[in-house]
Structure 1
Amino acid sequence: MRLEGRSLFPWIAGAAILCSIGWALDRGQLPPADFTFVNGTEVKSLDPAIVTGQPENRMINALFEGLTRWNPETLDPEPGVAERWDVSDDLLTYTFHLRQDAKWSDGSPVTAHDFIYSMRRFLDPRTAAEYSYQAWYVKNAKKYSGGGRAVRPGDNVEVELNVDPNGVNSIRGAVIRGKLVRIEDKSGNELAGDALDTAAGDASLNIEDWTFVVATEAGEERFRYADDLSASRNEPAAGERHARQILLDLHDVGMRAIDDHTIEFTLENPTPYFLNLLGFYPLFPVQQQCVETFGSPQWTDVENIVCNGPFKPEFRRLRDRTRVVKNEHYWDRDNVKLNSVDFLAVESSTTALNLYLTGEVDWIYDVPAAALRTLLAERPARDDLNPKPMLNTYFYLLNVTRKPFDDVRVRKALSMAMDRTELTERLLGAGELPTYSLVPPGLPGYDPPQSPHENVKEAQRLLAEAGYPEGRGFPTIEILYNTHEGHQAIAQLIRKQWQNNLGIKVRTRNEEWATFNSSQRQLNYDVSRRGWIGDYADPNTFLDMFVTGGENNCTGWGNAEYDKLIAAAAVETDPAKRLDLLHQAETILMDEQPIIPFYNYVSKNMVKPNIRGFYNNIQDTHPLSALWIDAEEETPNPFMEGRK
């Protein structure tokens, strides 16, 4: 039974209705796509190597494909560009055999060399990929990402020379290979042993002050870091040459193209989820010719981009929609049933709901809390909403580089002064459960350690012990969130709880998605919201974020023992011992509290009854290539068990 929005939701403001009508009018005479859904905010980029958000995830998964892809129902890895693979007995070497008919959207073949190029680019420190650590399971990949700070005398290295600063961005400079002889500091003293390790780990020391002495075919040469502009304007010192960067020789990284259709990876240690990782969008290939012809970010423009997934872009209208159409060169095109899909850039969940209720869109992934209660009360008559638990945690980051968040007593007081039950039951209401750990419950063999539960008196005592009795002298703090009414409502509730329970002053600040991400990375915040969906079903996907200096550790926090435990878990082959190491690490994280977990998500998808191939799964991942429209039947809706 279909229920009309106006009869159900008299509380929805007329402005929201008008907004949805405005979206319909904005489409003008544009023919409708086969399938239209709300994708949230404008995507930051379509470059798989440099993004981390869910809006980007959904679009990139439509446009690109990795060696493996995930089953839409079980999320198990299935053949993607690779039609099959072999794994060595020691579980360290994976050999992938690529499809002969795998092609880019321009009709050219996808080859093993494309994957090597893309992985090298992903690991390149100049790319600044926030997810680069997801490739560090490959032998020496982490060392390659470390650049000049990671190499040591005796290593085979590649010296990348500078390029014309006025040329196309993304073109790599010429590479000279050799063996690193020594590294000298700015005074000409050799850095070696512990002194080199200490200097390399000190981010305040400028690597441009170091000289790298490399034995090359031309003899012993001296190189010093310089950016392209400086290299073009300034002559190097006598006896030296400029270099963009010095890296471990790529030939020493555990990946190689055996031939055009065979690629081999050698891992540091057995990694049970490696095949799943290869279906994760940051590890998708990009076409070298496209990237280096147009440069970054222009290569991702609709008129330039070349992709290898089930769809390709047709057009993009900012603050409106991106339309993709079936890629006629995709190897599995006969099983892709949708000919066109519209991704709508709508940040407001209220607007999204109205677009759904008025028939403008086929799928929304979020529903305003107040509407959700009404919708859930209409089940089973309403058959297009069925929340399910997800491998996802909502939490706040605390910037420990700023006072008073550098004091663990303050961080614990903030966590203990929150009423998570009020948040989940009164504000959210979709079945979300309060949580006191980062790793969600339900992963086999893992029982997450918990931070202390609500205790206002103890929170007040800790705050007083930290020097702020009854909140006196405590600076006004700010909660940062990305633009979304749900995040705003949560921030306002937490602000009220902290003010009432601790006597402190709190304000809130919202930013659009790209700016918000930048503020987090630059630690330009006091407290900031974060949600994390597991990239694979393992505690490590949550915990390895918070190693010291990790690309996604946007707190400024670090703990040497935590780092050791995460590193030890990465090489532990006994499953039970490995999970124990991760448990010990999370215990440290919850004790030091650089983050405050709030609740574990449930999915809030609303999908039209005639959409098939849509399944609830713990990562809330729904490949568009698996969807199809049942033109013969509007009801009943098998969404409660998955749309088959």
Structure 2
Amino acid sequence: MITVGVRASRARRAAPRALLLILTLLLAASVPAFGKHTPATAADSTNGGEVTLRVGIQQEFDSLNPFLGFSLASTDVFRLIYPTLTTYSAEDFSVVPELATDWESSADKLTWTFHIRQGVNWSDGRPVTAHDVAYTFKRMMDDPAAATANGNYVDNFDSVTAPDDRTVVIRTESPQATMRSIAAPIVPRHVWSRIDNVAEFANQRMPIVGSGPFVATEYRPQQHLTLRANEDFWRGAPTVDRLRFVNFENSDAAVQALRKGEIDVVRDLTPTQFDALRGTEDIRRVRGKGRRFFEIVLNPGAANSAGDPIGTGHPALQDARVRRAIDRAIDRERLVQRVLSGYGTVGAGYLPPIFEDFYWTPPPEARRPFSIEAVNRALNEAGYPRGPEGVRRGPSGRVLDFEFVLHGDSPTDALVGKFVKEWLSRLGIRVRLQPVSDNQVNQRTTAGDFDMVVSGWSVNPDPDYVLRLQTCGARPKPGGGGLPDSFLCDRRYDELYARQLAEFDHTQRVELIRKAQRRFHRMATGLILFYPNALEAYRSDRFEGFESQPSDGGVITAQQGYWGYYEARPTEQARTASGGAGYRSAAFVVVGALLLGAVVVASTAARRRRTAEHRE
């Protein structure tokens, strides 16, 4: 049996209508308007002695449904509100118990038994049991939509049973090395068994029933998501009373809000913003080791899992010679210096260097050093000559004119797009930059509706999740579901992926994973540009104690776990600010109350009449 110890802790007539309109306008003038971001006041962060940790984010929540959401913004929240069987330690990413206290496997590694922690409750008071775990996994096994975000964890499951409230038994079809690191959120069976259509369920009814250190209590799309500390969390309640994720249109706005004290933490800073905050009073910067890779996906001829072509990809990109030529036309050293200002590492293999065991770089004979001259020769030899206007054409006569889809609110994407467009123009390839919203990027990528698209993933300490994204099995199913990255479907890569999944010897598994990365590099469907550092900053006058992951040079947000938010502590200044809403805020409340009273009086008769009319 493997047993691992857990750290102990802690919403009628002309004259009255005119009056109503005037009073309403006056009331609106005295209350801050809602938008993508509403400037915060002291009352936003402290309320009756309670303290809110406000985190600025620029990415949209693609979904609050844990079966569907896979953006970094969403998965960060899922780790805070839903339990998982195990989690990763803050110190070194090692697997530690979470909902499961311990586990054992059969000699043939096909049967795994997990023992579920006693005394853990859902936020509605119902106990968390093994039946919730079994339900979650079986729903993912039986419902393609429920497998959208985390289906890779259960692809190899043969059966999941809960013989009693404290025991989960999972039988796999073949040995699966990732059984100790299944990061799929566990959901309450008594809630989700009533949801017939997972694909259409937004999970936005508040509060969301969960069992993590926080409970989601308020959501205003594209404005903010508020979580409240779970007083009954099994490790002990968090120190902060509330945690609020505040949406911003761009990182510039988030940084200004941080400077003004309207938020307490900001992540995904640009290098320029990070440097500009150096020496700023009451703001502490964090430069963390990144576990994310930044890539350009080239559409190799997208297809669904049945092999039926989908999407709008340019046929020239189905030629690996063209994809490899584009790869060699990208100056990664320049991107790291000009786009990241040195805050990152030049891209090489699929997995970032923070995970040293799995990190791979191409050997000399497989490297593609930047050379516009060499690429032009290669394209000529491959049968893609320049036409009269200097634009290359493929064998069918179609010009090489590619649409490059970018995240519209990302300055990094914009800079990368600018450089890539210029480099490819020197090859005789047209590039049309197409900035769109985060959700549109996700939708278009999954539909294969792109020629080139910016992508990137945060890699788990066990890299199986991102490795599977490049398999044939990750392609979208005809009826929905599936989560592809580059639409690679290669027999050799799939063989290597399957072998690493079944390999329990760490050294041998590392070698298989490196071979899979070499094959991915050879196919050139995803071009790894760089591994950016994670640049963050927070108000040190208001909060302290953030636990980083890993402990040596790690990050305080977007972790593989909840440690940073869970361990954050408000300073005495933040606690005593609860009485500091200020005269202006108080005046707004007084004026607003008087005006609201007048509005109520003026509108009572009209409201009664409207009610009768609507009842008809």
TM-score by length of 1: 0.71
Q: 1:21 to 1:29 in 2, by over 3 A?
A: farther
Q: Secondary structure at the match of 2:448?
A: coil
1:299 CA drift (Å): 6.6
**Paired letter, 1:496:** E
The question of 1:522 aligning with 2:522 is answered no
Contact 1:97/1:262 (<8 A) preserved: yes
1:443 CA drift (Å): 3.5
Name the counterpart of 2:392: 472
Contact 2:239/2:570 (<8 A) preserved: no
The question of 1:260 aligning with 2:260 is answered no
> In the aligned structure 2, how far is the partner of 1:631 from the partner of 1:573?
46
Q: 1:96 to 1:514 in 2, by over 3 A?
A: same
> In the aligned structure 1, how far is the partner of 2:383 from the partner of 2:454?
26
Name the counterpart of 1:355: 257
> In the aligned structure 2, how far is the partner of 1:269 from the partner of 1:599?
35
> In the aligned structure 2, how far is the partner of 1:452 from the partner of 1:563?
24
Name the counterpart of 1:458: 374
**Paired letter, 1:504:** I
Contact 1:34/1:340 (<8 A) preserved: yes
Q: 2:220 aligns with which of 317, 320, 330?
A: 317
The question of 1:285 aligning with 2:192 is answered no
Q: Secondary structure at the match of 1:566?
A: helix
> In the aligned structure 1, how far is the partner of 2:295 from the partner of 2:33?
31
Name the counterpart of 2:321: 409
Name the counterpart of 2:230: 327
Deviates more, 1:367-376 or 1:482-491: 367-376
Name the counterpart of 1:190: none
Q: 1:503 to 1:439 in 2, by over 3 A?
A: same
Report 1 or 2 for greater relative contact order, CA contacts < 8 Å, sequence distance ≥ 6: 2
Q: 2:526 aligns with which of 591, 595, 604?
A: 595
> In the aligned structure 2, how far is the partner of 1:573 from the partner of 1:275?
11
1:19 CA drift (Å): 12
Deviations 1:581-623 (A, max 9, x none): 3332222211121111100121111122232133143685061
1:398 CA drift (Å): 0.7
**Paired letter, 2:567:** L
Name the counterpart of 2:487: 556
Contact 2:36/2:248 (<8 A) preserved: no
Name the counterpart of 1:542: 466
**Paired letter, 1:508:** L
The question of 1:345 aligning with 2:265 is answered no
1:466 CA drift (Å): 3.0
Name the counterpart of 2:567: 627
**Paired letter, 1:49:** F
Name the counterpart of 2:606: none
The gaps in structure 1 that reach 5 residues or longer are: 1-17, 141-252, 635-644
> In the aligned structure 1, how far is the partner of 2:34 from the partner of 2:132?
42
1:480 CA drift (Å): 0.6
Contact 1:82/1:96 (<8 A) preserved: yes
Contact 2:140/2:154 (<8 A) preserved: no
The question of 1:392 aligning with 2:332 is answered no
The question of 1:302 aligning with 2:205 is answered yes
1:506 CA drift (Å): 0.9
Deviations 1:132-167 (A, max 9, x none): 443237542xxxxxxxxxxxxxxxxxxxxxxxxxxx
Q: 1:52 aligns with which of 70, 94, 97?
A: 70
> In the aligned structure 2, how far is the partner of 1:294 from the partner of 1:360?
41
Contact 1:81/1:98 (<8 A) preserved: yes
> In the aligned structure 2, how far is the partner of 1:629 from the partner of 1:338?
6
Contact 1:480/1:509 (<8 A) preserved: yes
Q: Secondary structure at the match of 1:604?
A: strand
Contact 2:78/2:185 (<8 A) preserved: no
Q: 1:318 to 1:310 in 2, by over 3 A?
A: same
Name the counterpart of 2:269: 367
Name the counterpart of 1:112: 130
1:330 CA drift (Å): 2.9
Contact 2:56/2:266 (<8 A) preserved: yes
Q: Secondary structure at the match of 1:441?
A: coil
Contact 1:294/1:304 (<8 A) preserved: no
> In the aligned structure 2, how far is the partner of 1:70 from the partner of 1:569?
20
Q: Secondary structure at the match of 2:284?
A: coil
Q: 1:86 to 1:387 in 2, by over 3 A?
A: same
Q: 2:536 aligns with which of 602, 605, 609?
A: 605
Q: Secondary structure at the match of 1:502?
A: coil
**Paired letter, 2:181:** N
Deviations 1:297-352 (A, max 9, x none): 557123363212121122112221111112244333x3421111111122411111
> In the aligned structure 2, how far is the partner of 1:359 from the partner of 1:256?
50
The question of 1:485 aligning with 2:411 is answered yes
The gaps in structure 2 that reach 5 residues or longer are: 1-31, 302-313, 394-398, 475-481, 575-616
Q: 1:323 to 1:444 in 2, by over 3 A?
A: closer
Q: Secondary structure at the match of 2:441?
A: helix
> In the aligned structure 2, how far is the partner of 1:558 from the partner of 1:498?
26
Q: How does 1:206-225 map to 2 (within 5 A)?
A: none
TM-score by length of 2: 0.74
Contact 1:76/1:276 (<8 A) preserved: no
Q: How does 1:424-435 map to 2 (within 5 A)?
A: 424-435=336-347
Contact 1:436/1:452 (<8 A) preserved: no
1:263 CA drift (Å): 1.2
Q: 1:397 to 1:533 in 2, by over 3 A?
A: same
The question of 1:584 aligning with 2:504 is answered no
Name the counterpart of 1:420: 332
1:52 CA drift (Å): 1.2
1:117 CA drift (Å): 0.9
Instruction: Give identity over the alignment, percent.
Output: 21
**Paired letter, 2:166:** H
> In the aligned structure 2, how far is the partner of 1:593 from the partner of 1:364?
34
The question of 1:504 aligning with 2:429 is answered yes
Deviations 1:387-416 (A, max 9, x none): 232222110111111311011111111111
> In the aligned structure 2, how far is the partner of 1:353 from the partner of 1:324?
22
Name the counterpart of 2:52: 34
Deviations 1:278-307 (A, max 9, x none): xx2x34224343451686455712336321
**Paired letter, 2:252:** T
Q: 1:286 to 1:271 in 2, by over 3 A?
A: same
1:76 CA drift (Å): 2.7
1:558 CA drift (Å): 1.5
1:129 CA drift (Å): 2.4
Q: Secondary structure at the match of 1:515?
A: helix
> In the aligned structure 2, how far is the partner of 1:313 from the partner of 1:65?
14
Contact 2:357/2:510 (<8 A) preserved: yes
Name the counterpart of 1:159: none
Deviates more, 1:114-123 or 1:445-454: 445-454
Deviates more, 1:430-439 or 1:48-57: 430-439
1:442 CA drift (Å): 5.2
> In the aligned structure 1, how far is the partner of 2:374 from the partner of 2:33?
47
Aligned pair count?
A: 496
The question of 1:436 aligning with 2:335 is answered no
Q: 1:468 to 1:137 in 2, by over 3 A?
A: closer
> In the aligned structure 2, how far is the partner of 1:91 from the partner of 1:383?
50
**Paired letter, 1:423:** L
Q: Secondary structure at the match of 2:215?
A: strand
**Paired letter, 2:472:** T
